Chain A
Amino acid sequence: MEKADAVVIGAGIMGLSAGYWLAQRGAKVIVLDKGRVAWEASGRATGFLSLRGEQPLEAPLAAAAETLWSTLDERLGYPTEWLPGGRLWVALEPDRLAELRDICPQWQAAGIPVQLLDGAGARAIAPCLSEQTLGGLHTTRGGHANPQRASQAFAWAFRDSGGAIREQTPALGITVAGGKVRAVQTPNGSISTPVVINCAGPQVGLIAAMVGVTVPLAPVRLEAMVTVPLPRLFDVAMVGHGLSLRQTRRGNIHFNGGPHEWVDVDLTGEPAKPGTPVIRNIARRLAELFPSLANTPVLRSWSGVLEVTPDQTCIIERLAAPDGMIIATASGHGFGLAPSIGQAICDLALDGRSQVPIDGLGLDRFAKLDPGWRALRRWTAGSYNT
């Protein structure tokens, strides 16, 4: 039987990052994916890194990720299109502005420099913003990168470090004996390993169920779009008017948001990712936010499926039972955190504990979760726009 020090399930950016850091420490790692590298959420993400001021449990991971992002191109040897342009939340309506005022102290309490701006202040950072802009919340920290290129950079660097990526190779089962993980079964045979790292995105719950562990997740499909390339307009990763958006290094405006459909996934198939006519409404919001860009052509739209946890916070844990099983999901905001989450996973796999604090991110917080939580929230497959 083939042997590895660790098997990673999921060749998204988080699994590839974990594989990369493990390979750096000399571990023999195999990354499995039912499809292709970064073919699902990682290749379809917005590409943001946020400092997670609104979620102090994740703030240490975010701070560590920010440090890593600034050195990643050199370290990996491949470009990620990282742009440390900061973050800007803008409000076009009084209710939204009030929310920004409410959230500001949370960020300050987390020790992240943020500034409340008026409309003119926000437009000074992004001059294409509508004159209706009432204000904004700005931090020079955080930024954005190209999700596809950054994921592939990790894949190539992992490969260069001796790692193996097996595409179109789903994990079909996990062998446990004596309370320990022993092997992962694939269509091409079993791989003997003492460590299984579950970074399977929306499939994390299904993989965990193979060893009898419940991970509460709800997969969701949502849509994104890009315009043609434009001259440089702003560097910040922006949230506002119901959209998340950034201007890519190439110059395209990459934007997403809006109504989304809750879905189910399975272990081996590629989830359907149909688009919907909602792209017209999404386009309208961008034109309302940036009226001077109303004549800018839209080039394409796409859908992606990602997973959300009940409290929209990461789950990162090395399980006590079975030993050797590590679970990691970032509830749909894992892209920016992936460099440091990968390191945390590497630490958990080799040392049993993470150097970056991950306290409070374990599964025990869901001990009292109502098993019917998805239905209670109308987050079950087919529900829409909740």
Chain B
Amino acid sequence: MAKEQLIVVGAGVAGCAAALEAAQLGLKVTLIDEHPQGLQAMSLDAPYFYGARLAAVLDDAATIGERVLGANEPLLECLEAGVEILTGTCIWGSYRPGANSTHLAAPQLGLADGERSWLIEYDHLILAPGSRDLVLSFPGWQLPGVLGANGAAALLDRYQALSGSRMVILGSGNIALRTAKLALEKGVTVAALVEAAPAIRGDAALAAELAQAGVSFHTGHTIERALGEQEVCAVRLVAVDAATNPVRDSAQEIACDTVCMAFGAVPNVELASLTGCRIAFDAARGGWAPVLDASFRSSIANVYVAGDGAGVAEPMHLDPGIAAEQGRRAARAVAAAEGRNVAAEGEALAVAGGDSVLAAAGHWLRSLVKAGGMDVVVCQCEDVTRRELLEVSPPKYLNAGNLKSCGGVGALPPASRNSQDILKRMTRAGMGHCQGKRCRDQVLLLLAEAAGTPPAALVPGSYRAPVRALPLSVLWAGEETDEMRRTWPIWLHPVDEGAPGYASAKAMESGRGEG
């Protein structure tokens, strides 16, 4: 198996800065990025909420490849600096030797492109996986034309493939304002920017600039529904008071073909979590984020996390320099560990706080529940509504309406009540094609509200390999040895015909057991 000195995952701002710095310090660097993605992967809303109206051009691999690479100048700099670059390659697994997995030779990552999967070992790993769209639902959110802010930015900028021309943006934090600015730059009309809270949350100067450009701000409003038959044609907004109650007779419709959910972004911790890095709740950094030192080193000595994946603070949406410096710090720490002469770091980088994205999202969610009700789908893949989630109803495919109610979330024992995984197992919310990327955060917010606990007290759902849904034929172990084929165990071991046949280990060498 190939072994790399340093693998950097993610060719965004932080990843490219890390790779370039490390290469300039003389390290051998491999930079891996899942973009350009195949249309099938994008249709599963991983890593972003791209929505259900992806442009046909995305199927043209050559054109898209050119656009995505052309849009990433830092990546070209990395290439010139001698960084080995794998694009169109996702990381789906991360494995380390450790308790109850002692036979694994070395830390390794699972990689895949559209055709095959393979494993590589590493000495050092810098994860720069970016952030995930925080998604909250409202009636009509399944319509083509609804997408997330990260998804919109990727389609507008990297892929140049947003099929829409008139956008309504939900949210007013920096990610919402940034998306509005990008949309305007790309020739998309911003028909409205909506905020449930009474005031704009994000940067005042940028908000003023957008207002100057003609963007109309609807603070103290929430979305009642997205309208349309085949795709979005308008949104219906309703005014809300400070306690998120809808104001009577305040509904208004705004024509648009695109609704961008820019409620916020949360760090994408799936790979850090799979790797075994300690994750803890930090409201100022977007919720559950890796625990890191001043060098962005995780709880595992040779694993670092930088950029939005390390925690999303509000200023980071407007100042890419923060993520870049985090990446460079991680790279310098790796270089120091490899014996390079690296100047000592100055002060720890202040991760500027700002308000908690989850608090803002909680405010939004309360307004959406009041305007849209409890029978709105939370999990698109498995068709689970808010009510079904909190009542812990059996999934619809069981037609179990004649059976009892279990009493809902509140009737679970306390440890089960705080576990997203238990809720996932019972309702299936988060079990579907998108692997929970679209519903995970809303489920946690609903659970916190229903259980009366702060989000920090919840145990978020676990992450499982493969963190990108991969076809059997891609995950398929092409290099499997004859030895493995020959010794592949039949579960488990045979029962000796003279059972209880425990006396002889030898008698247990052939036959079969039961799964």
Given the complex, which residues of B lie within 8 Å of A239, measured CB to CB? 491, 512, 514-515
**A152 near B: Cβ within 8 Å?**
yes
- Contact B473 A287, beta carbon cutoff 8 Å: yes
**B101 near A: Cβ within 8 Å?**
yes
Among B441-499, those with CB < 8 Å from A are: 464-466, 469-473, 475-477, 480, 484, 487-493, 495-496, 499
Residue in chain B with minimal CB distance to A366: B502
Q: Known: A228-B433, A301-B466, A312-B493. Is A79-B471 also a contact (CB below 8 A)?
A: no
Q: Which one of A122-130, A189-197, A292-300, A348-356 contacts B?
A: A292-300
Question: Would you give the shortest CB distance from A169 to chain B, in whole angstroms?
Answer: 9
**B268 near A: Cβ within 8 Å?**
no
Question: Would you give the shortest CB distance from A102 to chain B, in whole angstroms?
Answer: 8
**A256 near B: Cβ within 8 Å?**
yes
Interface residues on chain A, number (Cβ under 8 Å)? 96
Option from A77, A294, A303 in Cβ contact (under 8 Å) with B404 = A77
Q: Known: A286-B472, A311-B500. Is A78-B514 also a contact (CB below 8 A)?
A: no
Given the complex, which residues of A lie within 8 Å of B476, measured CB to CB? 280, 283-284, 287, 294
- Contact A299 B469, beta carbon cutoff 8 Å: yes
Option from B414, B477, B499 in Cβ contact (under 8 Å) with A311 = B499
B146-190 vs A: 1/0 string, CB under 8 Å?
A: 000000000000000000000000000000000000000000000
**B398 near A: Cβ within 8 Å?**
yes
Option from B103, B422, B435, B484 in Cβ contact (under 8 Å) with A300 = B435
Q: Known: A78-B394, A274-B98, A301-B465. Is A279-B499 also a contact (CB below 8 A)?
A: no
Residue in chain A with minimal CB distance to B469: A297
In whole angstroms, what is the CA distance A163 to B393 when docked? 22
- Contact A148 B426, beta carbon cutoff 8 Å: yes
Question: Would you give the shortest CB distance from B94 to chain A, in whole angstroms?
Answer: 9
Option from A274, A366, A385 in Cβ contact (under 8 Å) with B101 = A274
Given the complex, which residues of B lie within 8 Å of A271, measured CB to CB? 99-100
In whole angstroms, what is the CA distance A340 to B311 when docked? 50
Interface range on chain B: under 10, 10 to 19, 20 to 34, or 35 or more? Answer: 35 or more
**A101 near B: Cβ within 8 Å?**
no
Residue in chain A with minimal CB distance to B425: A148
- Contact B100 A261, beta carbon cutoff 8 Å: yes
Given the complex, which residues of B lie within 8 Å of A46, measured CB to CB? 515
In whole angstroms, what is the CA distance A258 to B487 when docked? 9
Question: Would you give the shortest CB distance from A162 to chain B, in whole angstroms?
Answer: 14
Q: Which one of A112-120, A179-187, A242-250 contacts B?
A: A242-250
Option from A43, A78, A216, A332 in Cβ contact (under 8 Å) with B425 = A43
Among B314-365, those with CB < 8 Å from A are: none
In whole angstroms, what is the CA distance A260 to B416 when docked? 28
- Contact A366 B477, beta carbon cutoff 8 Å: no
Q: Which one of A20-28, A204-212, A320-328, A368-376 contacts B?
A: A368-376
Residue in chain A with minimal CB distance to B428: A250
Residue in chain B with minimal CB distance to A58: B514
Question: Would you give the shortest CB distance from A372 to chain B, in whole angstroms?
Answer: 10
- Contact B93 A373, beta carbon cutoff 8 Å: no
**A175 near B: Cβ within 8 Å?**
no
Given the complex, which residues of B lie within 8 Å of A370, measured CB to CB? 503
- Contact A272 B415, beta carbon cutoff 8 Å: no
- Contact A79 B102, beta carbon cutoff 8 Å: no
Given the complex, which residues of A lie within 8 Å of B502, measured CB to CB? 216, 310-311, 365-366, 369, 373
**A281 near B: Cβ within 8 Å?**
yes
**A221 near B: Cβ within 8 Å?**
yes
Given the complex, which residues of B lie within 8 Å of A281, measured CB to CB? 477, 480, 484, 488
Q: Known: A277-B95, A287-B476, A365-B500. Is A298-B515 also a contact (CB below 8 A)?
A: no
- Contact A283 B477, beta carbon cutoff 8 Å: yes
- Contact B428 A298, beta carbon cutoff 8 Å: no
Option from A48, A221, A295 in Cβ contact (under 8 Å) with B100 = A221
- Contact A99 B110, beta carbon cutoff 8 Å: no
Residue in chain A with minimal CB distance to B382: A250
Given the complex, which residues of B lie within 8 Å of A57, measured CB to CB? 499
Option from A274, A286, A297, A369 in Cβ contact (under 8 Å) with B503 = A369
Option from B394, B415, B492 in Cβ contact (under 8 Å) with A36 = B415
A55-87 vs B: 1/0 string, CB under 8 Å?
A: 101000000000000000100011101000000
- Contact A275 B95, beta carbon cutoff 8 Å: yes
Given the complex, which residues of A lie within 8 Å of B480, measured CB to CB? 281, 284
Among B392-417, those with CB < 8 Å from A are: 394-395, 397-398, 400, 403-404, 406-407, 411, 413-416
**B76 near A: Cβ within 8 Å?**
no
Residue among B119, B469, B500, B508 facing the most chain A CB atoms (10 A cut-off) = B500
Residue in chain A with minimal CB distance to B433: A228
In whole angstroms, what is the CA distance A244 to B101 when docked? 22
Residue in chain A with minimal CB distance to B467: A300
Option from A73, A99, A168, A259 in Cβ contact (under 8 Å) with B415 = A168
Question: Would you give the shortest CB distance from B205 to chain A, in whole angstroms?
Answer: 44
**B258 near A: Cβ within 8 Å?**
no
**A263 near B: Cβ within 8 Å?**
yes
Residue in chain B with minimal CB distance to A156: B406
Given the complex, which residues of B lie within 8 Å of A73, measured CB to CB? 400, 403
- Contact B465 A275, beta carbon cutoff 8 Å: yes
In whole angstroms, what is the CA distance A54 to B493 when docked? 13
Question: Would you give the shortest CB distance from B432 to chain A, in whole angstroms?
Answer: 8
- Going nearest first, the 8 A-B pairs with the smallest beta carbon separation are A244-B515, A310-B502, A300-B464, A280-B477, A272-B99, A167-B415, A77-B404, A297-B469
Chain B residues at the A interface, C-beta cutoff of 8 Å: 93, 95-96, 98-104, 108, 110, 117, 119, 276, 382, 394-395, 397-398, 400, 403-404, 406-407, 411, 413-416, 419, 422, 425-426, 428, 431-433, 435, 464-466, 469-473, 475-477, 480, 484, 487-493, 495-496, 499-503, 505, 508, 511-515
Can you show 11 pairs from A to B with CB atoms below 8 A apart?
A: A36-B416, A73-B400, A222-B491, A259-B489, A277-B119, A294-B476, A295-B471, A295-B473, A300-B464, A308-B493, A360-B500
Q: Given A79-B394, A302-B464, A382-B103, output 16 extra A-B contacts at Cβ < 8 Å.
A: A36-B415, A37-B413, A149-B425, A239-B514, A275-B93, A277-B95, A281-B480, A281-B484, A295-B473, A298-B471, A299-B469, A300-B466, A310-B500, A313-B499, A313-B500, A366-B500
Chain A residues at the B interface, C-beta cutoff of 8 Å: 35-37, 43, 46, 48, 50, 52, 54-55, 57, 73, 77-79, 81, 99, 103, 148-149, 152, 156, 159-160, 165-168, 216, 220-222, 227-229, 237, 239, 242, 244, 249-250, 256-261, 263, 271-277, 279-281, 283-287, 293-303, 305, 308, 310-313, 332-333, 360, 365-366, 368-370, 373, 376-377, 381-382, 384-386
